[in-house]
Each structure stands twice: as C-alpha cells, then as structure tokens.
Structure 1
Amino acid sequence: MKTVSPYSLVPLNPAAMMDVWKLGVMAFELWSTSVSTITLRQSLWQTQPPTSARMLRENRRMVTEKFEAGLETGFEIQKAMLQMAFGQSSPWWDTGLRAMTPYHRRSSANSLRLSRRR
C-alpha cells in the first residue's frame, strides 16, 4: 500500500512562501475593508430612514452578498474535503486563499463603493 506524504505545515519553497504571504495580506485586507464597510454602513443606518428605498436596497444587497460569499466558500471547503477523501490534497495556504477569496472580493468592492457614495 502506497502512503501519500502530506504537505508540511511550513512551506519549503519560495513559491509556497509567497502564497503564505499572499494569504496574510489577504487576511489583513479583509479585516481592514470589513471594518471600513461596517463603519460606512452604520453611518448610513444613522443618517437614512430605515424604510427608504436606498436603505432597503443596501440591506438586501448586504444579505445577498454575504449569502453568496458563504456559499462560494462552502463549495471551496467541500471541494477540498472531497479531494482529501479521494487522496488528493492541497496545502493549507492554497485552500485558505481559495476559501477567503469570495469574502475578500466582496468586502473590497463594498468598501470602495460605499466610500464613493455621498
């Protein structure tokens, strides 16, 4: 029986180290844009009537985007688990990048969009 050696917890080549660096940068950007988006949405909630068309659109968009990002992340995790079940695995930094990408993309876009809006 052939044993598959798992990836090490520490990246051993420069390309893998760069992926770990990208994951760290992505995590920091996700954190900072999430804080910005939360702050901008709270200021909207404080200045707009809750039943205005603008607020209803923004709230609907917020919920829809979170749901879609959660589904995409869930699919990536499910894909990684199925690969592990069939003996194919990828390193944690690749899986982390793929799992965080939907939230990162939406959070960055929302922060930019809400900061432009006056």
Structure 2
Amino acid sequence: MKSTTPLSLMPTPPVAMFDIWKVGIMAFELWSTSLSTITMRHHLWQTQPFFSPKMMQENQRMVTEKLEASMEAGLVMQKALLNSMSGKQAPWWVTSQRTMKPYHQRSSANSRRLAK
C-alpha cells in the first residue's frame, strides 16, 4: 500500500515562507482597516441622525457587504473542504489568504471611502 504523508504545518520552500508572510500582512491590514472603519462609522452614528437617508444607506451597505463577504468566504472554505476530500489539499496559508480576501477588499475599500 502506498502511504501518503500529510502536509506539514510549516513549509520548507522559501516561496511558501513568503506566502505565510503575505498572510500575516493581510491579517494585519484587515485588522487595522476594520478598526478604522468601525471608528469612522461610530463617529457617523454619533454625529448624524439615524433616520437620515445617508445613514440608512450606510447601514444597509454595511450589512449587505458583510453578508456578501461572508458568503464568498464560505464558498472558499467549501471549495477547500471538497478539494481536500478529493485529495487536492491546499496548504493552510493558501486557504487562509483566499478566505480573508473578500473581507480584506471590502474593509480596505470602506476605510478609504469613509476617510474622505
């Protein structure tokens, strides 16, 4: 019988180590832009009436973007699970980067938009 070895938690090639570095940078950027977006939206909630059209639109946008990002991330995780069940397992650093991408894109865009 042919035995297969599972993927190691830490990669050996230098290119994979660079991918892990990119995951860390992406996580830090996601954290920092999320904090700034939360702060700016909190400021909007304190300075504008909640029933104004601008605030209602911003709140609807916030909820819609969160739902879209979570559905995209869930789809990525589903693909990773189905691929691992069929023997095409991707390393954790690749899967985590793909999973964070929808949140990272939206959080960065919101931070830039709200900072104007």
TM class by smaller structure = over 0.9
5+ long unaligned stretches in structure 2: none
Mapped to 2, the partners of 1:4 and 1:93 lie a distance apart of: 20
Aligned length: 116
Residue aligning to 2:30: 30
Identity %: 59
Matched, 1:10 2:10: yes
Amino acid at match of 2:79: K
Mapped to 1, the partners of 2:7 and 2:82 lie a distance apart of: 17
Mapped to 2, the partners of 1:80 and 1:72 lie a distance apart of: 13
Residue aligning to 1:70: 70
TM-score in terms of structure 2 length: 0.97
TM-score in terms of structure 1 length: 0.95
Q: How does 1:53-64 map to 2 (within 5 A)?
A: 53-64=53-64
Matched, 1:111 2:111: yes
Mapped to 1, the partners of 2:68 and 2:11 lie a distance apart of: 31
Q: CA RMSD in A?
A: 0.8
